[in-house]
Structure formats: structure tokens, C-alpha cells
Amino acid sequence: MTNLLRRAYGHPLLYKGRRLECPVCDGRFRRMRHGRGRRDVQCPRCGSYERVRALWLFLREESGLAEGSHRVLHFAPEPSIAAAIEAMPGVEYLSADITPGVAMEVVDITAIPYPEDSFDTVICSHVLEHVPDDRRAMGEVFRTLRPGGTAYFMQPVDFGRAETHEDPSIVTPEERLRAFNQYNHVRVYGRDIRERLAGAGFEVAERRYTEELDSADRARYALQDGDATEREDVVFVAVKPNP
């Protein structure tokens, strides 16, 4: 971790302690940065949010990326996770984002400039809720994955909703904030996100990994409250079936 990053997230003494642990950067802290009306949200060292820590714990423990060889495409790369994955010995790593300057390549997820069967693993967290044609994005991830390959999708889901709420006539930042909870979101996913992913051809498993951990680990890693209905941290494991 660079000194620049240390400075960016506040004075170390403010957070000095051992109550909390960030699994991404292995930092130990008395508290994390508060925000979004919640306590202990952002790691003061690597900047990871609750959902990023949850995603990393899942990838570290469940993805098998640390063993064998994997061609990985990582959309909207979280810098802390990107560094950890790129450092894995068997990983051939590529990051992509539609915004120039934040990833290795500029890529529109609805038109991925790679042939079919190019990647073993795709990581796509908190992207689809920004993409107007998300079905096309899912289809492009499916096309570029090799058969048997896995995509990990994470996005905000309101599990209190059966159906996804979207409305293409809602376009201004103010209206989107009101309707979809964030100025640049184009929908709020409901429980049917799973069928939408399956519609692209994937075999989908929904992993509520935060809730699978025991309460001591959930508290230690400062993860999202296990009882919340509106979740940002559920991992949708989407496998492209072998023909």
C-alpha cells in the first residue's frame, strides 16, 4: 500500500486499533470510515467498502482463482481487489471499464471487443445497474466466457421486490436518484435478477456470502447487516454450461 493511498483515507492514528479487520489489505483498525448513514463502511487504508470486502472474501475463499491458471476479465475494477488478483501466480489479468483511465482497457460491456470463449472468469460488480441494456451486457459476458467458465455478478438487489423496477423514461439524475436510489442507476433489481441472468444462458447460483459467515466474522470484517433486505453484497455465480 502506497503512502499516497494512506494519506487519501485519513490519519492512521484516528483508526489505530484491532477491533476490525479489512480482508482486502489485511489492515487492523479500531474503526473504519463512516458513510451512507452507516458506521464502519470504508477501510481507512485501501478504501474498500462493505460490498468490496464481501466480494473479496468470496473470491478468496470460493473462486479457486489462487490455484491453476485463469484468464480473468474484471469490469469496473475495485483497485484493492484488482491488485490482489493480478498478483496471483496463475492469473492472466485484464481490467476494463467504459470510463477512460480507470482500467487497463476502455470497454463497453454491451459490445466486448473479444471473440467468444476468451475468458475463464469474469468479475462484474456494481456495473449492471448502470447499463441501460443489461440483457445485452449479460449476453456479451456469456459469449466471451469459455464453456465451463464463471462470471461473478454483484449488484444492488432489493429482495423485498419480486420484479425489477426500471423505466427508460426516467433519465435525469434527480429522477433516477428518487426512483432507483442513486443518480446514475437505471433500475432497482428485484429477486428476478436471477431469471434475467439465466435468460442469457447462465446456470445461476445466488450466494449470500455475508450471511453465510458467522456473526463474529461479519462484525470483524465490518460487513453489511445480515438482516437487510436491500443488499449490495450478494454474489450471483453464473456458469456458462458446457455444451
Cα Rg, the chain, nearest whole Å: 18
User: Binding to Zn ion by residue 25, rule CB under 5 A?
Assistant: yes
Residue 78 or 158 having the CB closest to Zn ion: 78
Name the residue type at position 122. Answer: V
The correct pick among 29, 32, 42, 45 for binding Zn ion (CB under 5 A) is 45
Span interacting with Zn ion, options 4-12, 24-32, 149-157, 183-191, rule CB under 5 A: 24-32
Cβ proximity of 71 and 92 under 8 Å? yes
Q: Count residues binding Zn ion (CB under 5 A).
A: 8
User: Binding to Zn ion by residue 24, rule CB under 5 A?
Assistant: yes
User: Binding to Zn ion by residue 54, rule CB under 5 A?
Assistant: no
The correct pick among 32, 43, 103, 131 for binding Zn ion (CB under 5 A) is 43
How far, in Å, CA of 23 to CA of 39, rounded? 17
Residue 20 or 137 having the CB closest to Zn ion: 20
- Judged by CB under 5 A, the chain residues 3 through 22 that form the site for Zn ion are 22
Residue 48 or 121 having the CB closest to Zn ion: 48
How far, in Å, CA of 80 to CA of 96, rounded? 15
How far, in Å, CA of 153 to CA of 162, rounded? 19
Q: Choose among 185, 74, 72: nearest CA to 121.
A: 72
User: Binding to Zn ion by residue 52, rule CB under 5 A?
Assistant: no
Secondary structure (DSSP) of 46-105:
T---HHHHHHHHHHHHHS-TTSS-EEEEEES--HHHHHHHHTSTTEEEEEEESSTTSSSE
User: Binding to Zn ion by residue 222, rule CB under 5 A?
Assistant: no
> Contact residues for Zn ion (CB under 5 A)?
22, 24-25, 27, 43, 45-46, 48
